[in-house]
């Protein structure tokens, strides 16, 4: 494991295959969903949009948990720091995709690309929050300093999400309620839609896991490269010293 130079393994291969299968199924089933009366062709976005949103929450949750594990002295290990950073990166991508697919859906349905409804505003704030977190991680610092700083920032970020939630929720509410809460009888989300949506959740979760394993391994390789280049530089300087008269 420590001498690995690539990021592929049996685990990523099987995760990747499962993710590809689930995604292919989601796309195939999503495209064959019937167009609904109210939303027309765009209702099919339900196959991927809620799944993307779920994966972004999962990613930020993992970041928070890994950060807490790093801060807890008994479980402190650089692997939690790498996991937190990698997960946040993927979470940012999923949040951006959530906003993009939501916009594509909102344009024909609400008539505008963007409305200032509670959940959109919250997602946009969350995106900004974690972009800040990633920017903080890029600030050059010793590994331990970076880890502590990032872990505290991640916990602060996750703590402010509920406050943001209440603020924007009271501020305005237009978004339809939570997707799964709408599956009560008599609702227009019928079985096939729910099934495809749940498959979308599974697919996005698998994609997230697959990306995460690869990203953590890349981060570990980056750290190793840093260490090695330092050792190589030291070695060169020593040789120069020997050569010098």
Partner 1 sequence: MWRDAVLVAGKDLRIEARSRVATNQVAPFAVLVLVLFAVALDADRRVLEQAAAGLLWVAVLLSTLLAVHRAQGVESAEGTGDALRLSGLDPAGIFLGKAAAVAVQLLALEVLLGVGVVVLYDIDPAGLGTLALTAGAATVGLAAAGTLYGVLATRSRVRETLLPLLLLPVVAPVLIAATRASEAALAGDPLGAAPQWLGLLGVFAVMYVGFGVVAFGPLMEEA
The interface region with partner 1, picked from 61-69, 130-138, 183-191, 204-212 by CB under 8 A, is 130-138
DSSP secondary structure letters along 65-93: HHHHHHHSGGG--HHHHHHHHHHHHHHHH
Q: Does residue 224 bind partner 1 (CB under 8 A)?
A: no
Task: Please work out the total of residues on this chain that contact partner 1, with binding judged by CB under 8 A.
Answer: 29
Shortest distance, position 163 Cβ to partner 1, whole Å: 5
Shortest distance, position 210 Cβ to partner 1, whole Å: 29
Secondary structure, 3-state, 196-241: HHHHHHHHHHHHHHHHHHHHHHHHHHHHHHHHHHHHHHHHHHHHHH
**How many Cβ atoms sit within 10 Å of the Cβ of residue 193?**
22
Which CB atom, from 24 or from 171, has the smaller least distance to partner 1? 171
Residue 39 DSSP code: T
Residue 175 DSSP code: S
The pair of three-digit structure tokens given for residue 198, joined into one six-digit string: 């749940």
Torsion of CA 215, 65, 20, 194, to 10 degrees: -150
Q: Does residue 88 bind partner 1 (CB under 8 A)?
A: no
Quick check: 96 and 90 in contact, CB under 8 A? no
Quick check: 151 and 81 in contact, CB under 8 A? yes
Q: Does residue 177 bind partner 1 (CB under 8 A)?
A: no
Residue 34 DSSP code: P
The pair of three-digit structure tokens given for residue 201, joined into one six-digit string: 């959740």
**Site map for partner 1, 185-204, x if CB under 8 A?**
--------------------
Enumerate residues 25-44 that contact partner 1 by CB under 8 A. none
Q: Which of 4, 113, 171, 187 binds partner 1 (CB under 8 A)?
A: 171
Quick check: 5 and 203 in contact, CB under 8 A? no
Q: Which of 13, 100, 159, 231 binds partner 1 (CB under 8 A)?
A: 159
Q: Does residue 170 bind partner 1 (CB under 8 A)?
A: yes
Q: Does residue 166 bind partner 1 (CB under 8 A)?
A: yes
Q: Does residue 129 bind partner 1 (CB under 8 A)?
A: yes
The interface region with partner 1, picked from 73-81, 94-102, 126-134, 174-182 by CB under 8 A, is 126-134
CA distance 33 to 47: 9
**Site map for partner 1, 131-150, x if CB under 8 A?**
xxx-xx--xxx--xx--xx-
Enumerate residues 94-123 that contact partner 1 by CB under 8 A. none
Cβ contacts of 157 within 8 Å, gap of 6 or more: 60, 64, 129, 130, 132, 133
Shortest distance, position 90 Cβ to partner 1, whole Å: 19
Per CB under 8 A, residues contacting partner 1 are: 125-126, 128-129, 131-133, 135-136, 139-141, 144-145, 148-149, 152-153, 156-157, 159-160, 163-164, 166-168, 170-171
């Amino acid at each position: 494991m420590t001498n690995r130079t690539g990021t592929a393994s049996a685990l990523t291969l099987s995760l990747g295959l499962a993710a590809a299968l689930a995604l292919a199924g989601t796309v195939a089933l999503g495209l064959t969903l019937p167009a609904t009366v109210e939303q027309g062709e765009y209702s099919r976005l339900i196959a991927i949009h809620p799944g993307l949103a779920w994966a972004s929450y999962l990613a930020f949750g993992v970041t928070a948990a890994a950060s807490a594990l790093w801060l807890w002295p008994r479980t402190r290990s650089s692997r939690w720091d790498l996991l937190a950073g990698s997960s946040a990166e993927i979470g940012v991508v999923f949040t951006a995709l959530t906003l993009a697919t939501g916009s594509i859906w909102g344009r024909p349905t609400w008539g505008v690309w963007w409305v200032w409804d509670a959940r959109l505003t919250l997602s946009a704030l969350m995106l900004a929050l974690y972009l800040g977190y990633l920017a903080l991680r890029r600030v050059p610092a010793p590994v331990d300093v970076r880890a502590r700083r990032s872990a505290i920032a991640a916990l602060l970020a996750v703590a402010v999400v509920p406050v943001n939630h209440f603020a924007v929720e009271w501020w305005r509410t237009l978004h339809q309620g939570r997707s799964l809460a709408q599956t009560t009888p008599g609702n227009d989300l019928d079985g096939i839609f729910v099934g495809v949506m749940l498959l979308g959740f599974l697919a996005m979760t698998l994609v997230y896991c697959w990306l995460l394993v690869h990203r953590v391994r890349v981060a570990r390789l980056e750290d190793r490269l840093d260490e090695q280049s330092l050792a190589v530089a030291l070695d060169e300087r020593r040789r120069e010293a020997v050569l010098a008269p």
